[in-house]
Chains A and B, each alone.
Chain A
């Protein structure tokens, strides 16, 4: 199975800061990496697909980058509504797997 390692586990930030969340795959997965946001007691929401492709309705402050095994979700100027957990997910191979998540919290 492809293991996705997200870091850091928790990130404490102040609104207005820009942050980068990392996701590293245990093997090359081309561009088959996607990012989800899950707010407390809510269902996950798709933010970014295929590394950097935007999703309709998602604010433009969310972007993605990376290739091969190393991928990054960037949040430009964090807003209060962004404090939640972020997961990366690979669709390269079965079984489809998620990272353990990065919790973005208020400093």
Chain B
């Protein structure tokens, strides 16, 4: 059974940093691109970033480019999102997803990030 378990969320002040983690199991992690998708409270879904099988390719939406860094450790079957210079508009539930051709088949339960003073 595929499992994706996010962690690392919480309340953080504007301008500070937070690192999200996603532990994957039940599939061969290195066979999949991975991605982070977020959802602000009561809002729709928004793609944040994607990473290739070996981490050699990374892709970001413009609003997080230069502030967020997606990475992975295939030996640990883990995905990460380093979030720096956080803004109030980054407040959302962040989902870890498997990605094949930018189609997100499996999703974690999500982790909440609140950016507020």
Q: A residues engaging B (CB < 8 A)?
A: 34, 36, 38, 43-46, 49, 55, 87, 89, 91, 94-101
Q: A96-B102, A101-B44 are in contact. List 9 more A-B contacts (CB 8 A).
A: A36-B45, A43-B95, A43-B107, A43-B108, A49-B103, A55-B105, A87-B45, A96-B50, A98-B44
Which residue of B47, B95, B107, B110 contacts A96 across the interface (Cβ within 8 Å)? Answer: B47
Chain B residues with Cβ under 8 A from A91's Cβ?
A: 101-103
Tell me the residues in window 75-117 of chain B with beta carbons closer than 8 Å to chain A beta carbons: 95, 101-105, 107-110
Which residue of B59, B102, B109 contacts A43 across the interface (Cβ within 8 Å)? Answer: B109
Summarize B's interface: helix, strand, loop or mixed.
Answer: strand
Chain B residues with Cβ under 8 A from A98's Cβ?
A: 44-47
Chain B's closest residue to A43 (CB) is B107
Is B61 in the interface zone, CB < 8 Å from A? yes
Contact in complex: A43, B110 (CB < 8 Å): yes
Tell me how far the C-beta of B105 lies from the nearest C-beta in chain A, rounded to whole angstroms.
5
Chain B residues with Cβ under 8 A from A44's Cβ?
A: 37, 45, 95, 104, 107
Tell me how far the C-beta of B12 lies from the nearest C-beta in chain A, rounded to whole angstroms.
23
Tell me the residues in window 29-59 of chain B with beta carbons closer than 8 Å to chain A beta carbons: 37, 44-47, 50, 59
Can you report 26 A-B residue pairs in the complex whose CB atoms are below 8 A from each other?
A: A34-B103, A36-B45, A43-B108, A43-B109, A43-B110, A44-B37, A44-B45, A44-B95, A44-B107, A45-B107, A46-B103, A46-B104, A46-B105, A49-B103, A55-B105, A87-B45, A89-B45, A89-B104, A91-B102, A91-B103, A95-B62, A98-B45, A98-B46, A98-B47, A99-B44, A101-B45
